[in-house]
Amino acid sequence: MKLKHVFFIAISLCLNAIGFGQNSIDLKADFDVEHKTVHIEQKISYHNTSNDTLTAIYLNDWNNAYSTKNTPLAKRFEEEFSLKIHFAKSEQRGYTTITNLKNSTGKDLNFSNLKEHIDIVKIELDTPLLPNQKYELNVSYNLVLPDDTFTGYGINDSKEFNLKYWYLTPVVYDGKWQIYSNKNLDDLYTPKANLNFEIRFPLGYTFISELNTIDIQQTKNEQIVTLYGANRVNSTFVLVKFSEFKFVQTDDFNIVSNINSKGVSPEEKALITDKITRYLTQNLGSYPHERLLITKSDYKKDPLYGLNQLPDFIRPFPDNFQYELKLLKTALKNYLDNTLLVNPRKDYWIKEGIQIYYLMKYIEEHYPDTKMIGTLANIWGIRSFHAADLNYNDQFVMFYMQMARTNRDQPLTTSKDSLLKFNANIASKYKAGVGLRYLDDFVNGNTIESTIKQYLADQKLNITSSKDFEILLKKNTSKDVDWFFTDYINSRKKIDFKIKDVEATEDSITLTIKNKRDNSVPVSLFTLDKDSILTKTWVENINDTKTLTIPRNGNNKFALNYDNMIPEFNLRDNYKTLNSNFLNNKPLQFRLIQDIEDPYYNQIFMMPLIEFENIYDGLTLGGKFYNKTLLKKRLNYKISPQYATNSKTLTGSASIRYTHNIENRNLYGINYGISTSYSSFAEDAFVTRVTPSISFSFRNDDDFRSDDFQNLSLRFLSIKRNVGDDTIFEVDNDVIDEPDYSVFNMRYVSGKPGIINFKQWFYDFQLAERFGKISINYEYRKLSERNRQFNIRFFAGTFLFNKTDEQSDYFSFALDRPTDYLFEYNYLGRSESSGIFSQQIIIAEGGFKSMLETPFANQWITTANTSTTIWRYIEAYGDIGLVKNRGRNPKFVYDSGIRLNLITDYFEIYFPVYSNLGWEVGQRNYEERIRILFTLDPGRLLGLFRRKWF
């Protein structure tokens, strides 16, 4: 045994003996690979460092988070539209069984898992634990480990182990117990402790740990490893059969890593590793442990987002650069996790902000010329894009602004488990890092770097908070930085300035700067000579407007935030030149294909289009002229002329929309717009549709993760049709005789579209010159714990008045295939009565699948549609309803059959079996009765991805 390890253990034992505030954990673990089980004997010496007397101690048992389908971890996956845990088999789950729990005298203690936190154990003490006293717990338990497919931790198919948060640890008590369940956020909050581990595992495995190795023994059947670590908050333990981990020794500390290094030689890896450890030590201080463990799983949890994630064969960054940033970002995170003991659930921003701040600083120092799109910026045709001009670090502002522009950003003081996934994984940490860079640029003089380093040194391995950082920063600068903590960190307030006016005399220039938001943040003002910076000045305390007078000195161009150091909401009005007006202040720029916004130009984008909207127009060729950039704008317009190859006609559409975002209210968005389109709806028949509209979007402002939503839309639809002499209209020839019409439509939609519990309903009101109607639609889906899905849908509609031709069903309620007189459904062949396109079904109105003899209702209709799982994606469905036409008795209708639910709402196939028509399977031309639901709409398909993130 090495002398320094003996010294570490001796010091730990001495500290425990004389009652210093140090917890200790002694653990003996025996791995049973075949049964995915770890048998553990553990002693916890818990020190009460508070001023309170404790009658209970709480322990983190995060392995038990996998035990059922109703744990907080399972619900977290459900919220993010993942059914990993819900569909998991019993043998894939993990759980903890405590077999024995005693105090130091051997007395049994009462314990239980909390009802709302099944991965937290409450232990009732037999005697109160006084301040500055210790209590010893002796616990025996079995860990049944989960498959690593859930969170990356557990056991894989090769029976290798990657364990984190695997053993019992005390919960932090700081006046109250900081109880947090495992929610796959990698944010266990536990006090530091001295760890003494003895681990037994079968031969043939290699162990990896960041703890110090004290001893290794080998018997005929197993290996026994003794490990020690002082002042640890948790320990990752890896058991693999074939180790990819490399041990790199540096002058600062050692790194053990298996991060992918394809294309990087061992010599380059050693140089890169040494470069990173030196950078961390210089900026964050000396690392208090011998080695830092960095795993592929760590990186996968917190990767480099952007073009770095493209496949290797098109990734536009050199292999060594890619490896270097992977290692750096993960090393920064693990270094801070092991040394900066802040509440990772409530006060994460300081740790994540420091991580991203030093990642950006590293790139500025070592790779200042690297572009955001890498080597693609040098390719002809791409280098003309504004994206090719942006530096690598500009993407951090863009990812945050993606959420700010869509009104989904959240304060950095929001509990991490209340953040949207995109915010928790990307936007919030980037906002924190960009914010520290903004603060650094404002304070200047390396104040932020020195303050961070001092903060980390003063608070190293101590429970601390961002408040301590704030206090220290205010001591280190004379500038007012309150705005950073109040307006930037603790709110959703956006930053948005504009140069309102510029007036010049012979020897001076007067500028008026307007703060468009309710905050007190500073802004930088630049004077320019062409693209060269002449001066940079910080302007503070702009409550509404502020007027400055500066010497003229040949200045004729002015810009706010010219270096983009400030994460500003809108950069398009930050630029002014003398004697400019709306038309000449920013040049007009045409760009082929969508680009990143260049705030110093009025941009118009052009994109070639090849689309297939319906069989009558066929393939449409044309282009789209629009102003939408990668980041959402408030005002968007689009003009899309196209030539239809089948109808041999010029078709297309145009629209203009404005979004009014509202913050800190349940009503979070109002959208105003007008659109028009011209397309075929049958052979030699065309429709012109003009629709002005306004919609109001609501959500729970106190809970962005809630999928509850409400939307109220009002629109006016003007429909004009042009029917040629050669029109072929198979479904309902009465449409030719129907005059053009306009409809006012009001719809209120409310729902909770969860992946396990889905609820949605809408109320629809339509008013036209010859009819008025109202309808209600309710839909409910339930996925049971046995993985059986149950669906029910109810629809009811009635005419308030109906002056339409009784011989025409053009405006009637439809039982199985609406006529779509508002032209809003994505029918590929809306006018077909035979062939595959007539079999396309859109579940609307009656929602029936069989084509019955009474397909329409011109007075009222009520239907119910149900389905339930038979096996996996095969379901049985049934529909019933009443159809009432004027002058006739209500008719009872029904059908039933088999549903292949391949992708709910996106691709489904219906096979009718029995209905009012009788046994349909045995009837002629059965293949024509099969109905197909599918969508080719890219926007809807994108929703499958988007719903997991926000």
Predicted confidence (pLDDT) per residue in 180-233, tens digit: 999 999 999 999 999 999 999 999 999 999 999 999 999 999 999 999 999 999
Angle at 395 between CA 393 and CA 400, to 5 degrees: 120
Is residue 172 a contact partner of residue 188, using CB atoms and an 8 Å limit? no
- First vs last C-alpha separation in the chain: 53
* Tokens (6 digits) for 277: 């450890």
Predicted confidence (pLDDT) per residue in 544-555, tens digit: 999 999 888 777
**What's the pLDDT score for residue 367?**
96
Mean pLDDT of all residues in 603-622 = 92
- Those residues with Cβ within 8 angstroms of residue 341's Cβ, 6 or more apart along the chain or in another chain: 191, 192, 233, 459, 461, 462, 463, 464
Mean pLDDT of all residues in 273-279 = 97
> Which of 158-167, 331-340, 529-538, 892-901 bottoms out in mean pLDDT, i.e. has the lowest?
529-538
Is residue 636 a contact partner of residue 626, using CB atoms and an 8 Å limit? yes
- φ/ψ of residue 600, rounded to 5: -100, 15
Radius of gyration of the chain (CA): 33
Mean pLDDT of all residues in 643-663 = 95
**What's the pLDDT score for residue 2?**
46
- Average pLDDT value over all residues in the chain: 92
**Of 653, 717, 652, 649, nearest in space to 683 by CA:** 649
**What's the pLDDT score for residue 18?**
39
813 pLDDT band, cuts 50/70/90, is very high
380 pLDDT band, cuts 50/70/90, is confident
Residue 6 has pLDDT above 70, yes or no: no
Maximum distance among all alpha carbons in the chain? 102
**What's the pLDDT score for residue 531?**
77
Mean pLDDT of all residues in 251-255 = 95
Is residue 202 a contact partner of residue 221, using CB atoms and an 8 Å limit? yes
50 pLDDT band, cuts 50/70/90, is very high
**What's the pLDDT score for residue 529?**
82
- Report d(CA 38, CA 32) in Å as an integer: 6
Is residue 751 a contact partner of residue 759, using CB atoms and an 8 Å limit? yes
Pairing between strand 602-612 and 619-626?
Answer: antiparallel
**What's the pLDDT score for residue 946?**
75
Residue 292 has pLDDT above 70, yes or no: yes
**What's the pLDDT score for residue 937?**
66
Residue 488 has pLDDT above 70, yes or no: yes
170 pLDDT band, cuts 50/70/90, is very high
**Of 454, 363, 466, nearest in space to 412 by CA:** 466
Positive or negative, the CA dihedral 452, 453, 455, 460 is: positive
**Of 933, 934, 930, 894, nearest in space to 912 by CA:** 930
Predicted confidence (pLDDT) per residue in 895-920, tens digit: 999 999 988 878 899 999 999 999 99
**What's the pLDDT score for residue 582?**
58
Mean pLDDT of all residues in 390-408 = 96
- Those residues with Cβ within 8 angstroms of residue 176's Cβ, 6 or more apart along the chain or in another chain: none
Pairing between strand 206-209 and 237-240?
Answer: antiparallel
**What's the pLDDT score for residue 790?**
95
Residue 14 has pLDDT above 60, yes or no: no
**What's the pLDDT score for residue 12?**
47
- HSE (CB half, 13 Å, CA atoms) of 506? 0
- Provide the percentage of residues in the chain whose pLDDT is more than 70: 94
Mean pLDDT of all residues in 633-645 = 95
- Provide the percentage of residues in the chain whose pLDDT is more than 90: 78
**What's the pLDDT score for residue 5?**
47
Q: Is the pTM of this model over 0.75?
A: yes
- Those residues with Cβ within 8 angstroms of residue 267's Cβ, 6 or more apart along the chain or in another chain: none
Residue 10 has pLDDT above 60, yes or no: no
Single-letter amino acid, residue 159: K
Residue 844 has pLDDT above 90, yes or no: yes
Please tell me whether residue 271 adopts helix, strand or coil conformation.
helix
- HSE (CB half, 13 Å, CA atoms) of 739? 7
- HSE (CB half, 13 Å, CA atoms) of 337? 23
Predicted confidence (pLDDT) per residue in 736-764, tens digit: 556 899 999 999 999 999 999 999 999 99
Residue 309 has pLDDT above 80, yes or no: no
Is residue 633 a contact partner of residue 627, using CB atoms and an 8 Å limit? yes
479 pLDDT band, cuts 50/70/90, is very high
Residue 780 has pLDDT above 60, yes or no: yes
- Those residues with Cβ within 8 angstroms of residue 336's Cβ, 6 or more apart along the chain or in another chain: 284, 351, 354, 355
> Which of 427-441, 527-541, 688-702, 865-879 bottoms out in mean pLDDT, i.e. has the lowest?
527-541
Secondary structure, 3-state, 40-85: EEEEEEEECCCCCCEEEEEEECHHHHHCCCCCHHHHHHHHCCCCCC
Pairing between strand 291-294 and 254-257?
Answer: parallel
Please tell me whether residue 820 adopts helix, strand or coil conformation.
coil
Single-letter amino acid, residue 633: K
Mean pLDDT of all residues in 376-394 = 91
CA of residue 920 relative to chain centroid, distance: 46
**Of 620, 579, 572, nearest in space to 596 by CA:** 572
Burial zone of 844 (CB within 10 Å; 0-12 exposed, 13-18 middle, 19+ buried): middle
Pairing between strand 23-32 and 193-202?
Answer: parallel
**What's the pLDDT score for residue 7?**
47
929 pLDDT band, cuts 50/70/90, is very high
- φ/ψ of residue 5, rounded to 5: -70, -40
- Those residues with Cβ within 8 angstroms of residue 280's Cβ, 6 or more apart along the chain or in another chain: 252, 287, 331, 332, 335
Secondary structure, 3-state, 424-444: HHHHHHHHHHHHHHHHHHHHC
Mean pLDDT of all residues in 239-244 = 93
940 pLDDT band, cuts 50/70/90, is low
More confident residue, 507 or 625: 625
Taking the CB of residue 244, how many other CB atoms lie within 10 A of it? 14
Pairing between strand 193-202 and 169-170?
Answer: unpaired
Predicted confidence (pLDDT) per residue in 685-702, tens digit: 999 999 999 999 999 999
Secondary structure, 3-state, 578-628: CCCCCCCCCCEEEEECCCCCCCCCEEEEEEEEEEECCCCCCEEEEEEEECC
Is residue 494 a contact partner of residue 569, using CB atoms and an 8 Å limit? yes
- Report d(CA 599, CA 572) in Å as an integer: 4
